Amino acid sequence: MDRMQFDAKALQSRLTGRRIGCRLHYEETVDSTNRIALELARVGAPEGTVVLADRQTAGRGRMQRSWQSPPGCNLYLSIILRPTIPQQEASQITLMTGLAAAEAVSEACPEGRVGIKWPNDIMVKGEKLAGILTESSCDRERILYVILGIGVNVNFPRELMPESIRGIATSLLILGGKAVDRSAFVLQLIQNLERCYGELEEGGFSFLAERWAGFFRLKGKRVRVQMLEQAILGKAMGIDIDGALILEDERGFVQRIIAGEVIPMES
């Protein structure tokens, strides 16, 4: 654990003038940075507002799961975006965030081969290092705001992990054997996000697809894709230029999956 608190003033001064990070709300303890960011977005907080906390008491994960958020070691942040892309392309924001996080993790963790488990779990050596929860609000025509909630296990020691995630979660500390500076990491992550978001706006997901595919480790592997009520078994083929997962199902038909959870059936 680094136990060092974030220096919110120093972080804000490094972020001033940037599109993402133009406003930083730092709190030592919150229930969920996503909940706070949603509240701020609802009352008009500008794009680029970042909510950062040292600890969450009710960190939210995907699929109604919780996210382990002990103090003094990890990153819990939520970012408000107000994208102008069409509603049906909103999932590309999630994929873009996964790419920005994977690039930041690769820089901080040269000893591990970083992968993105579609749509956006950041994995190293088969264990999860970071997760992303996007929550959004739309009206009939457009996206009003998107909250990017990012949790990264930075200096999470294995002995502090509850039994439920031991063996399926990892951290930069576990991988590299030494503590990583959380403030430097969050600045790098925000910088990557700003760059990837700009690229997405400029050229659409096709601008990012090749780099994203470089982190796809399931090509040719058997997977189960869990969607709301339905699951499909098949072979993962890759991602399409719009970010959809391409799967060859058991009858040999190619399917495009827009949303779901991928469970690898082999290592």
Residue from 21, 24, 33, 196 touching ligand BTN (CB under 6 A): that is 33
The number of angstroms, rounded, from the C-alpha of 247 to the middle of its chain's C-alpha atoms is 22
Q: Tell me if 62 contacts ligand BTN by CB under 6 A.
A: yes
Q: Which of 67, 118, 205, 215 binds ligand BTN (CB under 6 A)?
A: 67
74 φ, ψ (degrees, to nearest 5)? -120, -175
Between strands 49-56 and 23-30, the pairing is parallel
53, 52, 51, 56: which is closest to 66 by C-alpha?
56
Question: What are the structure tokens assigned to 31, written together?
Answer: 């229930």
Under the binding rule (CB under 6 A), the answer on residue 71 touching ligand BTN is no
119 is a contact residue toward ligand BTN (CB under 6 A): no
Instruction: Using CB under 6 A, pick the residue from 24, 81, 95, 121 that binds ligand BTN.
Output: 121
Binding mask 146-175 for ligand BTN (x = CB under 6 A): ---xxx------------------------
Please tell me whether residue 32 binds ligand BTN under the rule CB under 6 A.
Answer: yes
Of the candidate residues 11, 34, 99, 103, the single one contacting ligand BTN (CB under 6 A): 34
Identify each DSSP E strand in 31-163 by its residue range. Answer: 49-56, 75-81, 114-117, 121-124, 127-138, 143-152
Residue of 7, 10, 28, 65 interacting with ligand BTN (CB under 6 A): 65
Q: Does 132 bind ligand BTN (CB under 6 A)?
A: yes
Nearest residue to ligand BTN on Cβ basis = 131
Contacts of 17 (CB under 8 A, 6+ apart): none
**192-142-95 Cα angle (round to 5):** 30
Residues that bind ligand BTN (CB under 6 A): 32-34, 56, 59-62, 65, 67, 76-78, 121, 131-133, 149-151
